[in-house]
C-alpha cells in the first residue's frame, strides 16, 4: 500500500510525548523507544515542564524508517498509562 502524500520514508520526524512530570519520565520513554529506534541517544530527548510543573513534554528527533516503525512507536507509547498523549 502506498504511503499517504507527504509521508515518504526515511524522513526526519519530531515526536512529542506528554506525561506527568515524574523524575524518570524521559528515561522511561528512552527505554520504550530503543527497541524501535536503536540509534536513539539520551541527548536526543528534550524535556520541557509545563508552566505549573505538573506535566512534562518530551520532544524526540529521529529519522523514521517506515510507516510500520511509526505505528509501533505510537502503539507502545499511546497504550501506556504514563503517557497522556503523543503527537
pTM of the model: 0.88
Contact 38, 32 (CB under 8 A): no
Asked if residue 72 has pLDDT above 70, the reply is yes
CA 70 to chain centre: 9
| SS3 at position 81 | coil
Could you give all domains of the chain from N- to C-terminal order, each with its CATH number?
11-86 (3.30.70.260)
Percent share of the chain, pLDDT over 90: 91
Contact 19, 55 (CB under 8 A): yes
Q: State the pLDDT confidence band at 7, using cuts at 50, 70 and 90.
A: confident
| SS3 at position 57 | strand
Amino acid at each position: 500500500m502506498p504511503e499517504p502524500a507527504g509521508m515518504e520514508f526515511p524522513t526526519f520526524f519530531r515526536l512529542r510525548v506528554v506525561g506527568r512530570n515524574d523524575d524518570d519520565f524521559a528515561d522511561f520513554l528512552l527505554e520504550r523507544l530503543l527497541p524501535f529506534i536503536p540509534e536513539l541517544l539520551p541527548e536526543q530527548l528534550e524535556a520541557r515542564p509545563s508552566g505549573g510543573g505538573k506535566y512534562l513534554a518530551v520532544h524526540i528527533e529521529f529519522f523514521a524508517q517506515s510507516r510500520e516503525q511509526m505505528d509501533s512507536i505510537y502503539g507502545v507509547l499511546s497504550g501506556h498509562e504514563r503517557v497522556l498523549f503523543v503527537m
